[in-house]
Chain A
Amino acid sequence: MAEPILALKNVTKHFGENTVLDDIDLSVHQGEVIVIVGPSGCGKSTLLRCVNALEPIQGGEIYLNDEKIDIKSKKLANLRQKIGMVFQSYELFPHLTVLENIVLAPTKVQKRKKEEVQQEALALLGRVGLLGKEGSYARQLSGGQKQRVAIVRALCMHPEILLFDEVTAALDPEMVREVLDVMLNLAAQGRTMIIVTHEMQFAKAVADRIIFLDGGKVLEDTKPEVFFEAPKTERARQFLSMFEFNVVKSQVEKVSS
């Protein structure tokens, strides 16, 4: 097997007394789509934030293409360019238009030509169905539109790997789909992605591998078919049963009859 793009080795993270990530090992290969699931507070989002060095880690190492990601490193900004991240709360820059939002980092950070980046940005906006919105401000867009812009903003930096942190959690149900479709498309193009999500149907459809995280530990790391049909651990079974309503319903029927 080829060398992994991203490798986490024995990563440990504490918030004060709390251990949030406990000895995590994970490697991600070119073109892989990894979906991380688990109950709230299990450390999913923290894991992504550590990969992007937004949080310091207390133990272990994270490598991107054999380069160590270190929060104190001078080359950190360089490494971050190769990692695209999309947040739950979109975080478009409110004082800039859609196009300015997308073009800012490529022109200022990568010093690319403005015309070239603008063209690419418009092409990408077209691909996510937002052509014509480039002059709008974030406050004039719906949540789903904002999130698609945020994805384009990350893509325009030509990252080698994309991180999605519960990107549909703040959206109205009818907007979830438009964002998920964009992500499915990216997966189909062979992008390398790590996705944290609560949308189990989507996870099943998009993932090459499912990671089940609980209590800061990787409890399962397996193919989606296996995870959803025959989870190995009791915790995972419990977790999955929270998304099922037929059990409750049959109990209600029992009581009423």
Chain B
Amino acid sequence: MGITIAILLGFICAMIQYYKVPILKRVVSVYIELSRNTPLLVQLFFIYYGLPKIGIQTNAEICGIAGLAFLGGSYMAEAFRSGLEAVDSIQTESALSLGMSNYQTMAYVVLPQAISVSIPAFMANIIFLMKETSVFSAISLMDLMFTAKDLIGLYYKTTESLFLLVVFYLIILLPISILGSLLERRLRHAGFGS
């Protein structure tokens, strides 16, 4: 959920930067710098404990989603942006010279290429965000980490619960990681270009 919003947010931000929308462009780059240069945990604490004090109510889940979207958005934006930059500007020109509108050029020519370029960075970001979810236990979200901590507290079976925790994470993350590197290899192999 948080990741989906992050992707959307990233996409919008990248588009704004690509088309150099006057004021929004500034806003986006401030946002990207802010979110990339502060830890997720601090962002979450601020959203969860800080915001309610000035009247913005959140619960753990919304807070988690918002935090993930806030952090992930900037990473996804960077991934998209580098993908867009990788498409040569003369490709755009040749599409324009065929009489395509700006929208058609983006939809049929630039985006398909940009997305395939940014897939590896994309996968890396998703893995990164999944890993960051472990941070959520800090704000009492029912997360794997949290359950594990509970179990340690309840039964003093540290080793077992830790082991389980590690196994769970591997189950979730390994397939994504493997898929990511496979995709990356395939793309590089079938690399576009002349």
**Which A positions have Cβ atoms within 8 angstroms of B?**
49, 52, 54, 77-78, 80-85, 87, 89-91, 93-95, 104-105, 108-110, 138-139, 143, 146, 150, 153-154, 157
State the Cβ distance, B4 to closest chain A Cβ, in Å.
Answer: 24
Which residue in A54, A143, A157 is a CB contact (below 8 Å) of B99?
A: A157
Check A77 against B100 for contact (C-beta < 8 Å). Answer: yes
A81 CA to B101 CA in the complex, in Å?
A: 10
- A143 partner residues in chain B, CB cutoff 8 A: 194
Check A81 against B99 for contact (C-beta < 8 Å). Answer: yes
A80 CA to B194 CA in the complex, in Å?
A: 25
A139 CA to B187 CA in the complex, in Å?
A: 14
- A93 partner residues in chain B, CB cutoff 8 A: 91, 95, 108-109, 113
**Which B positions have Cβ atoms within 8 angstroms of A?**
88, 90-91, 93-101, 104, 108-109, 112-113, 116, 191-194
Which residue in A54, A89, A108 is a CB contact (below 8 Å) of B97?
A: A54
Nearest residue in A to B104 (C-beta to C-beta)? A108
Check B98 against A105 for contact (C-beta < 8 Å). Answer: yes
Check A104 against B97 for contact (C-beta < 8 Å). Answer: no
- B113 partner residues in chain A, CB cutoff 8 A: 93-95
Question: Interface of chain B, helix or strand or loop or mixed?
Answer: helix
Check B93 against A54 for contact (C-beta < 8 Å). Answer: yes
A160 CA to B172 CA in the complex, in Å?
A: 58
State the Cβ distance, A171 to closest chain B Cβ, in Å.
Answer: 12
Check B104 against A95 for contact (C-beta < 8 Å). Answer: no
Question: Residue among B97, B100, B194 with the most chain A CB within 10 A?
Answer: B97
Check A81 against B98 for contact (C-beta < 8 Å). Answer: yes
Nearest residue in A to B99 (C-beta to C-beta)? A81
State the Cβ distance, A229 to closest chain B Cβ, in Å.
Answer: 35
Question: Residue among B94, B95, B192 with the most chain A CB within 10 A?
Answer: B94
A89 CA to B94 CA in the complex, in Å?
A: 10
- CB-based closest 5 A-B pairs: A81-B99, A94-B192, A91-B94, A105-B98, A85-B97
A94 CA to B88 CA in the complex, in Å?
A: 11
Check A108 against B193 for contact (C-beta < 8 Å). Answer: no
A89 CA to B88 CA in the complex, in Å?
A: 11
Known contacts: A91-B94, A93-B91, A95-B116. The answer to whether A109 contacts B192 by CB under 8 A is no
Check B100 against A108 for contact (C-beta < 8 Å). Answer: yes
Check B109 against A90 for contact (C-beta < 8 Å). Answer: no
